[in-house]
A and B are shown apart, each in its own frame.
Chain A
């Protein structure tokens, strides 16, 4: 069976989903679905799951304005995104796909796509959507024969007509709706405490401590598990990483800083002697989870972006350390 997949993603400034009273679905103008959590983003993890299923490499469509739609309705305006979506569906249908998986990068779930496909096949449905309770998980399986009957009507029109007859796949596992930055922080901690299936990208060097490749840790660093430190990140002397924290790839935590109960996003520099607590920090931006406030940090000596030469510096640091230890 040939499986094709289309994933849609909202990125850039999104007025309809931008900050509301419970926080923003974006952080520093990035969609939460593209932000790394324990070494890979929701988008990357979904792509890998689908490829593991035997699907062709999923097409990723980005909607720059308004919420992304994984099933554009027949009444949707014909925007560049909708046209691109129609073209992507056409390519898959004409390319011989038997099944299409259409999804929107929004919530994190431990959904088993094999189970979903089996349900779709067993129910002999043309359209199956996954739900958690009454809420849609923004994942649908469509039989290509439904779309082949479109006959120039437009695929979104064909899909819209099939929605009333759709079958519902009821999912009862872990869901994190990723509606705001607090949800992202919660997902990180749920993963570290193994409350969901999200696996860190790296090696578990001791119980509850995962390290990515080429991490540079000063010998004086104190860590309290569970902790994740991403690839090529550097943690300086006298630092402390504690209470379910994640430092993503290519970061630099400078000397004497404490990271507690926090998520440090990729390529972030955290300055000397600072205290990061209950926060999500990115290059030049800091979000406090409990105060629900996002602060722009203008001084790169406090929180900034790591240098592009960091991988080279990390390699040199490792080389020097190895030479000294011989």
Chain B
């Protein structure tokens, strides 16, 4: 007996004989069996298709249509622009503060009997014992108390107490800045010029700044 449409209908209506049932069930599980497609007239096929679709369509929940909210979009755009500006401005202020920090600096070693070393972007500074300094690389103001050594990392011009002209300090050179307690004047000497000081004073400077 062949498994055909009629037999399958009977199976579903539970009208099969036991032999017929076994046959169908075997047919169902058997993957190897040749199965000639059930022939259906074309008209029937498309009719069945539309019937099936109608049944499904009745049960489909239509999704809500997507609302295009122009106002919301505009608002978000404006907020993001504003935020970018605020962030950029903030960065700018931060950088300016840092730069400002670099161009004007105060150094305090007033409580220590030892030398203290500082490194900035544009110079190195060694304060001697109990020394302080206020340096503004933009205006050229150089206020100092005590003895110190400065090694510029670029060419500078500074104005010192006691001399009218600005003094040029060169990149890479070592300069000693002394404060005369007697006259209140600042004295600036390059490392080479130290040799002109009295030996006793030279020796004290060499001791304090560890120059052999």
Same complex: no
Binding site for B on A (CB under 8 A): none
Binding site for A on B (CB under 8 A): none
